[in-house]
Amino acid sequence: MENAERILQNHIAGYRVLDKLGNGATSRVYLVKKEENGRVYALKHSLFPERLRTEAEILRELKHPCFPVWIEDGRLGDGAYLVMEYIQGVTLSQLMERYPGGMPEKMAVGIARDVVLGLAYLHDCQPPYIYRDLKADNVIVTAQGRARLVDVGAAVRVDGSQRDRCRAGTYGYGAPEQFWEGVRVTPSCDIYAVGKLLSFMLTGQNPCKPPYDTAEYCSRHSGIRRGLKRLLNRCLQADPQLRYPDASFLLAELENLEAKKIGFRKKIREITGNKCPYRYIKCIWRSDYERIF
């Protein structure tokens, strides 16, 4: 990638390089400005042109606010480049540095819901797409608190080709079948990664660090509601047939959990005459009662 660095020091295909945003195993992403109109974009450069061309084709087809907008792509020397919308915000990994013990449940479920909305769009395509590399580094949380997915480089269309049998994903997040040679993946592998991502947000326990048994860790975590534990347990099943079939089923379950929580709050307010939110109701145990009186 050293030659690429020299090429990208100043300008590329009518764009001026402002900063480096990140890098992966086969590519690097830069913050660039279009010299013609002064607009800022994200530019991805790779020395593997076929792989980046496939990513560009997928991104060009996606029409959903969860994903960056494709701008253009082309060849550059021995490699290729892809220009897309620059999503300003912080990665979920950076955000979790502020919540080492886990973020508030409402925030975690909100971020998960945005992610699952994007995955539901992918899974609803004909034929469906599978994202395959859902992780905290690929989730950008904007200043408005909305979550968006970047880097569709590992995404694959389930069309019966050999590509959906290739191994891809990140250890710690990826479903077990993603790392088995010759096994065709299904949308349920994205469901497994959602379970890992949501458990990370709720507990602060990074799936890529020990203890790696996220399902067992969450089952013993006292800060997770029973309904969320059931959801996580189904997402994190080793057998893909025991998980939610695709993201639309998981989205419905998340919305159902939120509706139940709102219904519980409403019931408490009705009982208390709307004088006291339920979180301030103090439970007095018998020993305290005897001590007071």
Helices (H), 79-187: 92-96, 105-124
Contact 153, 98 (CB under 8 A): no
Catalytic choice (73, 114, 133, 190): 133
For residue 211, give the DSSP letter: -
Q: How many CA atoms lie within 13 A of 91 on its CB side?
A: 13
Residues 246, 194: Cα–Cα separation, whole Å: 11
Residue from 111, 113, 105 nearest 93 by CA:
111
Q: What angle do CA 287, 289, 293 make, to 5 degrees?
A: 120
- 133 assigned to active site: yes
DSSP letter assigned to residue 179 = G
DSSP 100: T
Specify whether the CB–CB gap between 242 and 234 falls below 8 A: yes
As annotated, the active-site residues are 133
